[in-house]
């Protein structure tokens, strides 16, 4: 549920309207017991900074969501920013935005490419300032290094498997029961789109942990399971 705060007053005589920043907060499944306090704490930090800098703020939050993925409300915020409906994204802490430096760097690249600001209060990342951009560049460099390291480890692992004569390829990550259901529903004549809608409506996570299923994902699982 989106929470809208009353917009802050623009200083008398100002020629420019206040910047509209989308504030994002998140609590994980493990934090559910005290999620209200944790969300309020994140929002309080953001609101204090917004008051200091004269921002207008619109709050979004994902509750019981892992930082490994781009969750529903964060995805909504990124879509709004991509379509030019806001000036930037602000979070209280980096681990509320992403648990991986690679994922965080990807969001920074979106911000740079699409022309909106990203502000991470605990690390001083702020694409509106020179010092904040420098911190972001350092993080991006570490992310690039991490990508390279992952690539090298992957190549070494694949080479080892090849030497052992093991089959290469992407393992099936969908749960067996979900795969069986997809095969049965498709065999019964249901379309990939209809199956995807049903899985989404029932809250079944996709192989990548997303709450929304795509028809292309259903088709891939069905074709993989029924391949000769």
Q: Does residue 165 lie within any of the structural domains? A: no
Single residue among 139, 160, 191 that ends a domain in this structure? 139
Candidate list 8, 15, 25, 28, residue with the active-site label = 28
Q: Decide which of 139, 164, 191 is a domain's last residue.
A: 139
Interatomic CA distance for residues 35 and 41, integer angstroms: 10
* Angle separating helix axes 72-82 and 101-114, nearest 10 degrees: 20
**For the chain, how many helices (H) and strands (E)?**
8, 6
For residue 62, the domain's CATH number is: 3.40.50.1390
The dihedral over CA atoms of 49, 53, 56, 62, expressed in degrees to the nearest 10, equals -30
Q: Is 28 a catalytic residue?
A: yes
Judging by beta carbons within 10 Å of its beta carbon (0-12, 13-18, 19+), is residue 112 exposed, middle or buried?
Answer: middle
- Is residue 163, in this structure, part of any structural domain at all? no
The pTM for the full model equals 0.52
Terminal-residue alpha carbon distance, the chain: 46
Number of domains in the chain: 2
Q: Going residue by residue through the chain (228 aa), what tens digit of pLDDT does each one get?
A: 444 443 444 444 445 678 899 999 988 766 655 667 888 999 999 999 999 999 999 999 988 777 666 788 999 999 999 999 999 999 998 888 877 667 777 888 888 889 898 888 887 777 666 665 655 566 555 545 555 666 666 677 667 766 776 655 555 567 888 888 999 999 989 999 999 999 998 888 888 888 899 999 999 999 888 875
Find the domain containing 117 and state its range: 3-139
Instruction: Give CA torsion, residues 30, 32, 37, 41, to 10 deg.
Output: 50
């Amino acid at each position: 549920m989106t929470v809208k705060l009353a917009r802050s007053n623009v200083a008398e005589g100002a020629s420019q309207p206040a910047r509209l920043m989308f504030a994002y907060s998140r609590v994980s499944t493990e934090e559910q017991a005290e999620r209200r306090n944790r969300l309020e704490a994140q929002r309080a930090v953001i609101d204090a900074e917004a008051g200091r800098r004269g921002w207008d703020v619109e709050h979004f939050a994902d509750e019981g969501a892992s930082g490994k993925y781009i969750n529903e409300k964060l995805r909504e915020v990124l879509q709004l920013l991509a379509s030019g409906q806001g000036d930037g994204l602000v979070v209280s802490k980096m681990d509320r935005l992403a648990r991986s430096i690679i994922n965080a760097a990807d969001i920074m690249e979106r911000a740079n490419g699409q022309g909106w600001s990203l502000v991470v209060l605990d690390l001083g990342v702020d694409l509106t300032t020179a010092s904040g951009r420098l911190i972001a560049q350092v993080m991006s460099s570490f992310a690039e290094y991490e990508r390279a390291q992952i690539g090298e480890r992957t190549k070494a692992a694949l080479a080892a498997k090849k030497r052992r004569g093991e089959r290469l390829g992407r393992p099936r990550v969908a749960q067996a029961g979900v795969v069986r259901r997809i095969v049965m529903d498709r065999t019964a004549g249901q379309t990939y789109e209809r199956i995807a809608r049903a899985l989404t409506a029932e809250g079944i996570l996709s192989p990548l942990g997303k709450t929304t299923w795509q028809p292309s994902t259903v088709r891939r699982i069905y074709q993989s399971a029924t391949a000769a």
